[in-house]
């Protein structure tokens, strides 16, 4: 007889890396945006898409619909490799406040040259970036599919604690509280 006291782990409950979105907001179009796009392409190896201003801000000289930033979405092995590199840039330390209640987290890098393997190019300058990570489980496709969309059940949603555990286990990151020292 087999021992039924240890149940195999449910594969549907396994947390996985959904996507990594790298965003650079420069605040205006023209030369700064072109430099940011070149840097983003150099870092990720993927062509960035432009982000448009959602509303006009007269004080900053921004018109609605004007491109003011760029972003790249990485998936699969590229996403995993880039996340490891970008976590090294912040010394594998993330504040607990970086995590939201739905298993997503974000952090920023002040200078792109902090990433391993990135060299400084004087013509391009130095820019910062925001990195947003989305964690998923098998079955999350039901909320994105075109036919018969459905919501994810409460018990299947990834919580903050699960997301922090995933990052600790898979990327050797240290999560620290936000207490002021």
Domain map (residue ranges) of the chain:
14-139+153-174
The pLDDT of residue 67: 86
Give the closest residue to 83 by CA, choosing from 161, 167, 23.
Answer: 167
Tokens at residue 157, please? 């949603």
Distances (CA, A) of 30 to 46, 56, 66, 91: 20, 17, 10, 33
Which comes out higher in pLDDT, residue 6 or 76? Answer: 76
At the topology level, CATH places domain 14-139+153-174 in 50s Ribosomal Protein L5; Chain: A, (3.30.1440)
Q: pTM (2 decimals)?
A: 0.84
Q: What digits encode the pLDDT tens for the residues 82-133? A: 999 999 988 989 999 999 998 899 999 998 888 887 887 778 888 889 999 9
């Amino acid at each position: 007889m087999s021992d039924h006291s240890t149940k195999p782990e449910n594969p549907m409950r396994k947390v996985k890396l959904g996507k990594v979105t790298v965003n650079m907001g420069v605040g205006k179009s023209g030369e700064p945006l072109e430099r940011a796009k070149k840097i983003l392409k150099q870092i990720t190896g993927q062509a960035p898409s432009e982000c448009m201003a959602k509303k006009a801000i007269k004080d900053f000289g921004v018109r609605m619909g004007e491109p003011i930033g760029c972003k790249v979405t990485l998936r699969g092995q590229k996403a995993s490799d880039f996340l490891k590199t970008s976590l090294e840039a912040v010394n594998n330390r993330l504040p607990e406040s970086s995590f939201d209640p739905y298993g997503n987290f974000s952090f920023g890098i002040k200078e792109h040259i902090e990433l391993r393997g990135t060299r400084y190019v004087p013509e391009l300058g130095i820019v910062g970036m925001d990195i947003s990570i989305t964690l998923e489980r098998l079955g999350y496709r039901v909320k994105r599919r075109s036919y018969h969309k459905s919501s994810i059940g409460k018990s299947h949603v990834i919580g903050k604690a699960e997301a922090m555990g995933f990052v600790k286990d898979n990327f050797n990151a240290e999560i620290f509280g936000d207490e002021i020292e």
